Protein backbone atom coordinates (compact mmCIF):
# COMPACT_ATOMS: atom_id res chain seq x y z
CA UNK A 1 0.00 0.00 0.00
CA UNK A 2 1.48 3.33 -1.09
CA UNK A 3 1.32 6.15 1.43
CA UNK A 4 1.61 8.75 -1.36
CA UNK A 5 -0.47 11.86 -0.85
CA UNK A 6 -1.19 11.04 2.81
CA UNK A 7 -0.08 13.34 5.64
CA UNK A 8 -0.95 13.97 9.27
CA UNK A 9 -2.68 17.29 10.06
CA UNK A 10 -4.01 18.84 13.28
CA UNK A 11 -7.79 19.27 13.47
CA UNK A 12 -8.37 22.99 14.20
CA UNK A 13 -11.38 22.48 16.49
CA UNK A 14 -10.17 19.61 18.61
CA UNK A 15 -6.38 19.83 18.23
CA UNK A 16 -6.43 16.13 17.40
CA UNK A 17 -4.24 14.72 14.62
CA UNK A 18 -6.04 13.31 11.57
CA UNK A 19 -4.98 11.74 8.27
CA UNK A 20 -5.48 13.72 5.02
CA UNK A 21 -4.72 12.75 1.42
CA UNK A 22 -3.75 15.84 -0.58
CA UNK A 23 -4.48 14.04 -3.89
CA UNK A 24 -7.83 12.38 -3.15
CA UNK A 25 -8.86 14.91 -0.41
CA UNK A 26 -9.84 11.91 1.76
CA UNK A 27 -9.60 12.50 5.51
CA UNK A 28 -9.85 10.04 8.40
CA UNK A 29 -9.29 10.19 12.16
CA UNK A 30 -7.57 6.80 12.21
CA UNK A 31 -4.61 5.76 10.01
CA UNK A 32 -5.81 3.93 6.85
CA UNK A 33 -6.07 0.31 8.04
CA UNK A 34 -3.62 -0.96 5.43
CA UNK A 35 -0.81 1.26 6.82
CA UNK A 36 1.76 -0.37 9.08
CA UNK A 37 2.83 1.55 12.23
CA UNK A 38 6.19 2.11 10.55
CA UNK A 39 4.49 3.63 7.46
CA UNK A 40 2.40 5.95 9.68
CA UNK A 41 5.55 7.23 11.35
CA UNK A 42 7.08 8.16 7.92
CA UNK A 43 4.15 10.40 6.89
CA UNK A 44 4.68 14.20 6.62
CA UNK A 45 3.58 15.70 9.94
CA UNK A 46 4.05 12.47 11.91
CA UNK A 47 7.12 13.66 13.82
CA UNK A 48 5.20 16.52 15.44
CA UNK A 49 2.42 14.34 16.84
CA UNK A 50 3.73 10.84 17.30
CA UNK A 51 7.30 11.93 17.91
CA UNK A 52 6.70 13.72 21.25
CA UNK A 53 8.18 11.74 24.11
CA UNK A 54 5.91 10.45 26.90
CA UNK A 55 2.78 11.22 24.91
CA UNK A 56 -0.11 8.75 24.75
CA UNK A 57 -3.61 8.83 23.28
CA UNK A 58 -6.71 7.56 25.04
CA UNK A 59 -10.49 7.51 24.93
CA UNK A 60 -12.73 7.34 27.97
CA UNK A 61 -16.31 6.71 29.06
CA UNK A 62 -17.21 9.04 31.92
CA UNK A 63 -20.26 8.69 34.19
CA UNK A 64 -20.68 11.79 36.34
CA UNK A 65 -22.50 11.92 39.70
CA UNK A 66 -23.82 14.51 42.18
CA UNK A 67 -20.35 14.97 43.72
CA UNK A 68 -18.66 15.54 40.33
CA UNK A 69 -16.63 18.75 39.85
CA UNK A 70 -19.16 19.82 37.15
CA UNK A 71 -22.37 17.77 37.71
CA UNK A 72 -23.82 18.51 34.26
CA UNK A 73 -23.15 17.35 30.72
CA UNK A 74 -24.41 17.39 27.13
CA UNK A 75 -26.96 14.78 28.30
CA UNK A 76 -28.22 16.27 31.57
CA UNK A 77 -28.17 19.84 32.84
CA UNK A 78 -28.26 18.73 36.48
CA UNK A 79 -26.82 15.29 37.30
CA UNK A 80 -28.32 13.93 40.56
CA UNK A 81 -27.26 10.24 40.52
CA UNK A 82 -25.09 9.19 43.48
CA UNK A 83 -21.48 7.99 43.15
CA UNK A 84 -22.61 4.39 43.85
CA UNK A 85 -25.27 4.64 41.15
CA UNK A 86 -22.63 5.96 38.71
CA UNK A 87 -20.35 3.01 39.52
CA UNK A 88 -23.23 0.57 38.95
CA UNK A 89 -23.96 2.15 35.56
CA UNK A 90 -20.30 1.96 34.57
CA UNK A 91 -20.12 -1.70 35.70
CA UNK A 92 -23.01 -2.44 33.33
CA UNK A 93 -21.08 -0.81 30.46
CA UNK A 94 -17.97 -2.74 31.51
CA UNK A 95 -19.92 -6.03 31.27
CA UNK A 96 -21.18 -5.12 27.79
CA UNK A 97 -17.63 -4.36 26.65
CA UNK A 98 -16.31 -7.60 28.20
CA UNK A 99 -18.97 -9.58 26.29
CA UNK A 100 -18.38 -7.80 22.95
CA UNK A 101 -16.49 -9.45 20.07
CA UNK A 102 -14.88 -6.10 19.13
CA UNK A 103 -14.23 -4.42 22.48
CA UNK A 104 -12.71 -1.26 20.99
CA UNK A 105 -15.77 -0.76 18.74
CA UNK A 106 -18.21 -1.40 21.61
CA UNK A 107 -16.23 1.00 23.82
CA UNK A 108 -16.56 3.76 21.19
CA UNK A 109 -20.29 3.09 20.75
CA UNK A 110 -20.98 3.24 24.50
CA UNK A 111 -18.80 6.33 24.98
CA UNK A 112 -20.62 8.13 22.15
CA UNK A 113 -24.04 7.30 23.60
CA UNK A 114 -23.38 7.47 27.34
CA UNK A 115 -20.20 9.39 28.25
CA UNK A 116 -20.84 12.59 30.23
CA UNK A 117 -17.66 14.12 28.75
CA UNK A 118 -17.82 16.51 25.80
CA UNK A 119 -15.44 14.09 24.03
CA UNK A 120 -18.42 11.70 23.66
CA UNK A 121 -18.98 12.83 20.05
CA UNK A 122 -15.49 11.50 19.24
CA UNK A 123 -16.10 8.10 20.77
CA UNK A 124 -14.52 9.47 23.95
CA UNK A 125 -11.22 10.28 22.20
CA UNK A 126 -9.20 12.81 24.19
CA UNK A 127 -6.39 13.06 21.66
CA UNK A 128 -2.70 12.88 22.58
CA UNK A 129 -1.61 14.00 26.03
CA UNK A 130 1.47 13.94 28.23
CA UNK A 131 1.75 13.55 31.99
CA UNK A 132 0.66 16.71 33.79
CA UNK A 133 -2.37 17.41 31.60
CA UNK A 134 -5.07 15.19 33.10
CA UNK A 135 -6.24 14.64 36.68
CA UNK A 136 -3.66 12.42 38.40
CA UNK A 137 -5.75 9.26 38.95
CA UNK A 138 -6.73 9.37 35.26
CA UNK A 139 -3.14 10.03 34.12
CA UNK A 140 -1.69 7.21 36.25
CA UNK A 141 -4.30 4.72 35.05
CA UNK A 142 -3.94 5.73 31.36
CA UNK A 143 -0.12 5.58 31.37
CA UNK A 144 -0.23 2.17 33.06
CA UNK A 145 -2.24 0.71 30.17
CA UNK A 146 -0.81 -1.04 27.12
CA UNK A 147 -2.11 0.23 23.74
CA UNK A 148 -5.53 -1.41 23.17
CA UNK A 149 -6.06 -2.16 26.86
CA UNK A 150 -9.11 -0.94 28.84
CA UNK A 151 -8.77 0.15 32.47
CA UNK A 152 -10.84 -0.90 35.42
CA UNK A 153 -13.08 1.81 36.93
CA UNK A 154 -11.06 4.98 37.66
CA UNK A 155 -12.34 7.68 40.03
CA UNK A 156 -11.52 11.38 39.54
CA UNK A 157 -13.13 14.65 40.65
CA UNK A 158 -15.08 14.53 37.36
CA UNK A 159 -16.74 11.18 38.06
CA UNK A 160 -15.98 7.55 37.27
CA UNK A 161 -14.26 6.50 34.06
CA UNK A 162 -13.33 3.57 31.86
CA UNK A 163 -10.20 4.35 29.83
CA UNK A 164 -9.09 2.78 26.53
CA UNK A 165 -5.48 3.54 25.55
CA UNK A 166 -5.28 3.92 21.75
CA UNK A 167 -1.67 5.04 21.11
C1 LIG B 1 -9.95 16.86 29.33
N2 LIG B 1 -11.02 16.97 28.33
N3 LIG B 1 -10.76 16.82 27.02
C4 LIG B 1 -11.93 16.95 26.36
C5 LIG B 1 -12.08 16.81 24.92
C6 LIG B 1 -10.99 16.37 24.16
C7 LIG B 1 -11.11 16.22 22.78
C8 LIG B 1 -12.32 16.51 22.14
C9 LIG B 1 -13.41 16.97 22.90
C10 LIG B 1 -13.29 17.13 24.29
C11 LIG B 1 -12.96 17.20 27.29
C12 LIG B 1 -12.33 17.21 28.53
C13 LIG B 1 -12.98 17.43 29.84
O14 LIG B 1 -12.33 17.82 30.81
N15 LIG B 1 -14.30 17.16 29.90
C16 LIG B 1 -15.06 17.29 31.14
C17 LIG B 1 -15.17 15.90 31.79
C18 LIG B 1 -13.84 15.22 31.94
N19 LIG B 1 -13.13 15.16 33.09
C20 LIG B 1 -11.99 14.46 32.83
C21 LIG B 1 -10.90 14.09 33.63
C22 LIG B 1 -9.85 13.37 33.06
C23 LIG B 1 -9.88 13.03 31.71
C24 LIG B 1 -10.97 13.39 30.91
C25 LIG B 1 -12.02 14.11 31.48
N26 LIG B 1 -13.17 14.61 30.96
C27 LIG B 1 -16.46 17.76 30.85
O28 LIG B 1 -16.90 17.67 29.69
O29 LIG B 1 -17.13 18.16 31.84
75 and 42 share a domain? no
Whether residues 80 and 158 fall in one domain? yes
Residue 152 and residue 92 share a domain: yes
Q: Whose CA is nearest to atom 8 of ligand 1?
A: 119
Ligand 1 centroid distance, CA of 165 (Å): 15
Query: How does pLDDT run along the chain (167 residues), one tens digit per residue?
Result: 678 899 988 766 555 678 899 999 999 878 888 888 888 888 898 876 565 668 899 999 999 999 999 999 999 999 999 999 999 999 999 999 999 999 999 999 999 999 999 999 999 999 999 999 999 999 999 999 998 999 999 999 999 999 999 98
Tell me what pLDDT residue 2 has.
79
Domain identity same for 25 and 86: no
pLDDT value of residue 31: 83
Asked if residue 72 and residue 12 are part of one domain, the reply reads no
Binding-site residues, ligand 1, Cβ < 6 A:
14, 60, 62, 70, 117-119, 122, 126-127, 134-135, 138, 156, 158
Answer yes or no: do 133 and 63 share one domain: yes
Q: How many domains does the chain have?
A: 2
Q: Distance from the CA of 154 to the center of ligand 1, in angstroms? A: 14
Which atom from ligand 1 is nearest to the alpha carbon of 15?
A: 7
Specify the pLDDT at position 104.
Answer: 92
Residues 42 and 61 in one domain: no
Please give the residue range of the domain that contains residue 36: 6-50
pLDDT attached to residue 11: 66
* pLDDT of the residue at 147: 87
Pair 61, 43 in one domain: no
Q: Which atom of ligand 1 is nearest to the CA of 158?
A: 19
pLDDT at 18: 82
Burial 15-27 (b: 16+ CB within 10 A, else e): ebbbbbeeeeeee
pTM confidence score: 0.76
Amino acid sequence: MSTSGWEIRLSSTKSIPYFFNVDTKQSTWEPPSEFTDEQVKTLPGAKEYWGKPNQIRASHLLVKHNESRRPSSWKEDHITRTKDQAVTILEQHQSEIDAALNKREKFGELATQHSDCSSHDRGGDLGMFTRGQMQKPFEDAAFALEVGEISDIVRTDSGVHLILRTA
